[in-house]
């Protein structure tokens, strides 16, 4: 039995008990980077919502004037009689989100007026200083992890070999979209590599959303803005950078939802084994369509 | 049938509740806090790397960018009788003290400060909460005051003692204070401001005198400054972390 590294040509190395072909799909560094990244993302998201709660609105431009309406605002409105109402205001539209956002039952059962509820923030109670500590520590960890992954990705040709769409990929994009909509997952040789939509999703995450997250985050630092004055210019100001940071985080959350859904649909145990141990079982080709 | 009441949402809440109870425990653990706080060293070290050699200025804006409504945060009027008296006499009796590790401990009136070399700057104020506002600040560079008082070689930090007590303590333990190191103290944009947007500094923004440290967050920029102290160590002041908010968990280095 030969165990090939991720850099080598895929060879049949093992079989499962049911006779399925096992391939070594994810190299050790990719697996470690994936899980470090996943952990960092969870902490950064929840501590980020904690930080957002300290000023639960999003502004645009160089400054956020108190008089100017915010792009987004989550707030509690006290009532003369009865409990307060939680509102999410986006532009000129306003949605009653009582119970979930703005006003919710806190961990102790009492009504609280904060933007994001206790079960989405770290820590669960209002504590900006603690939230910032979690955020900065894991931001450094995420950045270092990301740099190692980038270095490896180029040096070991992981990006060029596994993520770069081929001509055939691009021609088959329509088919791939239909397959995804029908929740059909590739079998046989096609299952040994990423499909074209998967490649685009990963490329977008790795080269667009995560870098954007880091750069918009750094732009919120007055120190970094002095050292690199072009940073806020990219976004049109610090409040804009904060808004982009929030929107990008939302897109990353959407990615995680789709990503986890695809893992469930494609076979939870096989996918989890491959991202933990590296070994992925290829489902054989089928000529008959499952009814 | 009570079992059916356990909906998926309730189950999710219960699971995340357990996880979060764990997170809160972690968040409250001093060891975890110490580990997490180590990132502050990286923030300081990393930013010093790019900020020290050339001492770059914070961006200055045109007058057209000045915020119409500049939020006043923290104390908007100190509560002491002494401050009220100073306020009612338009700070004519007020004196700024500069002492500690200096050769010539000094005292200046507001008019004396205004007669010194001044700097005006239109800068962006970034609050730790997340909002920003732009205002014009006029004042005397802190480096000029330190030069006048002749800083001793063993001075390492400049401490600002303020008139406001955010927690309403009666023993002075809640009096606002802040500290910066000499790199920021000597930065050309670090000024003791007595005017905002061309008018005498309003009380909600720290009359008669406030600190501006443009490359850090708002809580570093002490308002209602009564006394400036040069020290070699701030561990004996307040709870020892270098400032009112620092004593309450915020980072001493607020460049991010």
Give A-chain residues touching B214 at CB under 8 angstroms.
Answer: 222, 226
Inter-chain CB proximity A54 and B129 less than 8 Å: yes
Residue A284, classed as helix, strand or coil, is coil
* Domains annotated on chain A, with CATH: 14-56+119-282 (1.20.950.20), 60-115 (no CATH)
A55 touches chain B (CB under 8 A): yes
The CB density around residue A177, as the number of other CB atoms within 10 Å, is: 12
Question: Residue A162 corresponds to which tokens in the numbers above?
Answer: 């596994």
Question: Is B16 within a domain?
Answer: yes
Question: Is B175 within a domain?
Answer: yes
Q: What is the separation of C-alpha A4 from the centre of its chain, rounded to a whole number of angstroms?
A: 30
Residues B44 and B120 in one domain: no
Whole-Å CA distances, B154 to A10, B100, B228, B234: 66, 11, 16, 13
Question: Is B194 within a domain?
Answer: yes
Residues B10 and B98 in one domain: no
Give B-chain residues touching A126 at CB under 8 angstroms.
Answer: none
Residues near A32 by beta carbon (within 8 Å), at least 6 away in sequence: none
State the helix-helix crossing angle for A196-203 and A173-181, rounded to 10 degrees: 90
Torsions phi, psi for A58 (to 5 deg): -120, 130
- Closest Cα in chain A to B19: A119
Sign of the alpha-carbon torsion through B200, B205, B206, B211: negative
Span A25-67, pLDDT tens digits: 999 999 999 999 999 999 999 999 999 999 999 999 887 766 6
**How close is the nearest chain B Cα to the Cα of A130, in Å?**
7
Residues B30 and B103 in one domain: no
Among candidate residues A170, A214, A219, A213, the one with its CA nearest the CA of residue A195: A170
Whole-Å CA distances, A188 to A1, A191, A193, A286: 21, 6, 10, 8
Question: Is B122 within a domain?
Answer: yes
Cα dihedral A60→A61→A62→A63 (10° resolution):
-40
- One digit per residue, the tens of pLDDT, for chain B of length 256 reads 444 455 666 666 666 667 777 888 888 888 998 999 999 999 999 998 888 777 899 999 999 999 988 999 999 999 999 999 999 999 999 999 999 999 999 999 999 999 999 999 999 999 999 999 999 999 999 999 999 999 999 999 999 999 999 888 888 889 999 999 999 999 999 999 999 999 999 999 999 999 999 999 999 999 999 999 999 999 999 999 999 999 999 999 999 9
Residues B86 and B192 in one domain: yes
Question: Is B101 within a domain?
Answer: yes
The CB density around residue A282, as the number of other CB atoms within 10 Å, is: 21
Question: Is B105 within a domain?
Answer: yes
Give A-chain residues touching B187 at CB under 8 angstroms.
Answer: none
Inter-chain CB proximity A221 and B216 less than 8 Å: no
Inter-chain CB proximity B20 and A119 less than 8 Å: yes
**How close is the nearest chain B Cα to the Cα of A205, in Å?**
25
Cα dihedral B28→B31→B34→B39 (10° resolution):
-90
Residues B92 and B207 in one domain: yes
Cα dihedral B241→B244→B250→B251 (10° resolution):
-50
Residues B244 and B130 in one domain: yes
Domain boundary among B54, B73, B89: B54
Whole-Å CA distances, B73 to A128, B76, B77, B126, B185: 15, 7, 10, 11, 23
Question: Is B232 within a domain?
Answer: yes
Residue B172 domain boundaries: 58-248
d(C-alpha B193, C-alpha B187), whole Å: 14
The CB density around residue B256, as the number of other CB atoms within 10 Å, is: 25
So what's the ipTM on this one? 0.91
Give B-chain residues touching A118 at CB under 8 angstroms.
Answer: 20
Inter-chain CB proximity B23 and A225 less than 8 Å: no
Inter-chain CB proximity A64 and B251 less than 8 Å: no
Torsions phi, psi for B2 (to 5 deg): -70, -25
Residues B76 and B167 in one domain: yes
Best mutation target among B11, B18, B36, B184 (most A Cβ atoms within 10 Å) is B36
Q: Which of B47, B128, B249 is facing A130, going by the closest CB pair?
A: B249
What is chain A's alpha carbon radius of gyration, rounded to the nearest angstrom?
23
Inter-chain CB proximity B256 and A220 less than 8 Å: yes
Inter-chain CB proximity B36 and A129 less than 8 Å: no
Residues B72 and B136 in one domain: yes
Residues B37 and B16 in one domain: yes
Inter-chain CB proximity A222 and B255 less than 8 Å: yes
Give B-chain residues touching A232 at CB under 8 angstroms.
Answer: 59
Span A119-128, pLDDT tens digits: 999 999 999 9
Q: Which of A51, A59, A222 is facing B216, going by the closest CB pair?
A: A222
Residues B79 and B199 in one domain: yes
Number of domains in chain B: 2
Inter-chain CB proximity A122 and B28 less than 8 Å: no
Q: What is the pTM of this model?
A: 0.91
Among candidate residues A125, A136, A143, A150, the one with its CA nearest the CA of residue A44: A136
d(C-alpha A277, C-alpha A24), whole Å: 9
Question: Residue A101 corresponds to which tokens in the numbers above?
Answer: 């956002």
State the helix-helix crossing angle for A238-276 and A28-54, rounded to 10 degrees: 140
Q: What is the separation of C-alpha A191 from the centre of its chain, rounded to a whole number of angstroms?
A: 24
Among candidate residues A197, A211, A170, A210, the one with its CA nearest the CA of residue A258: A197
> Which residue is associated with the tokens 């997490």?
B36
Residues B45 and B119 in one domain: no
Is the Cβ–Cβ distance between B190 and B141 less than 8 Å?
Answer: yes
d(C-alpha A202, C-alpha B211), whole Å: 47
Torsions phi, psi for B253 (to 5 deg): -90, 110
Give A-chain residues touching B124 at CB under 8 angstroms.
Answer: 62-63, 222, 225, 238
Domain boundary among B12, B30, B54: B54
Q: What is the pLDDT confidence band of residue A189, given thresholds at 50, 70 and 90?
A: confident
Inter-chain CB proximity A222 and B126 less than 8 Å: yes
**How close is the nearest chain B Cα to the Cα of A161, in Å?**
34
Tell me the CATH number at B172: 3.90.420.10
**How close is the nearest chain B Cα to the Cα of A193, in Å?**
34
Question: Is B253 within a domain?
Answer: no
d(C-alpha B165, C-alpha B153), whole Å: 32
Q: Which of A119, A122, A123 is facing B13, going by the closest CB pair?
A: A119
Size of interface A-B (CB pairs under 8 A): 145
Residues B32 and B124 in one domain: no
């Amino acid at each position: 039995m030969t165990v090939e590294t991720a850099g080598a040509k895929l060879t049949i190395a093992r079989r499962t008990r049911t006779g399925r072909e096992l391939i070594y799909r994810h190299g050790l560094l990719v697996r470690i980077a994936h899980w470090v990244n996943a952990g960092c993302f969870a902490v950064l998201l929840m501590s980020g919502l904690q930080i957002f709660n300290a000023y639960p609105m999003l502004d645009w431009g160089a400054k956020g004037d108190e008089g100017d309406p915010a792009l987004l605002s989550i707030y509690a409105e006290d009532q003369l009689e009865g409990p307060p109402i939680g509102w999410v205001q986006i532009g000129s539209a306003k949605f009653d989100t009582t119970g979930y956002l703005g006003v919710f039952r806190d961990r102790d059962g009492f009504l609280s007026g904060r933007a994001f509820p206790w079960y989405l923030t770290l820590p669960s109670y209002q504590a900006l200083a603690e939230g910032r500590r979690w955020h900065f520590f894991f931001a450094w960890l995420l950045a270092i992890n990301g740099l190692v992954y980038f270095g490896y990705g180029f040096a070991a040709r992981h990006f060029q070999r596994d993520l770069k769409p081929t001509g055939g990929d691009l021609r088959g994009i329509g088919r791939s979209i239909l397959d995804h909509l029908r929740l059909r997952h590739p079998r046989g040789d096609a299952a040994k590599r990423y499909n074209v939509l998967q490649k685009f999703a990963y490329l977008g995450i790795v080269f667009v959303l995560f870098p954007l997250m880091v750069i918009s985050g750094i732009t919120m630092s007055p120190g970094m803005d002095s050292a690199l004055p072009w940073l806020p210019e990219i976004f049109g100001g610090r409040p804009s950078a904060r808004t982009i940071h929030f929107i990008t985080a939302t897109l990353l959350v959407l990615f995680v939802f789709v990503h986890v859904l695809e893992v469930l649909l494609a076979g939870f145990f096989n996918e989890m084994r491959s991202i933990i141990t590296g070994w992925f079982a290829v489902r054989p080709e089928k000529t008959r369509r499952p009814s | 049938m009570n079992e059916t009441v356990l909906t998926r949402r309730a189950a999710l809440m219960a699971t995340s509740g357990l996880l979060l109870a764990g997170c809160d425990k972690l968040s409250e653990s001093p060891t975890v806090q110490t580990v997490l706080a180590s990132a502050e060293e990286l923030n300081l070290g990393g930013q010093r790397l790019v900020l020290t050699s050339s001492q770059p200025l914070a961006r200055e804006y045109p007058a057209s960018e000045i915020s119409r409504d500049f939020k006043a945060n923290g104390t908007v009027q100190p509560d002491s009788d002494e401050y009220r008296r100073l306020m009612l006499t338009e700070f004519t009796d007020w004196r700024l003290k500069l002492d500690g590790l200096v050769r010539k401990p000094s005292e200046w009136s507001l008019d004396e400060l205004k007669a010194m070399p001044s700097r005006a700057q239109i800068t962006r104020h970034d609050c730790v909460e997340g909002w920003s506002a732009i205002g014009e600040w006029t004042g005397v560079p802190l480096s000029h005051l330190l030069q006048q008082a002749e800083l001793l070689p063993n001075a390492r930090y400049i401490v600002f003692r303020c008139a406001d007590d955010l927690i309403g303590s009666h023993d002075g333990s809640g009096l606002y204070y802040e500290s910066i190191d000499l790199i920021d103290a000597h930065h050309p944009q670090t000024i003791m401001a007595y005017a905002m947007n061309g008018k005498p500094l309003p009380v909600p923004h720290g009359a008669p005198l406030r600190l501006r440290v443009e490359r850090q967050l708002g809580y570093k920029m002490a308002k209602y400054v009564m006394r400036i102290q040069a020290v070699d160590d701030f561990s004996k002041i307040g709870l020892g972390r270098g400032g009112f908010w620092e004593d309450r968990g915020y980072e001493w280095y607020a460049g991010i």
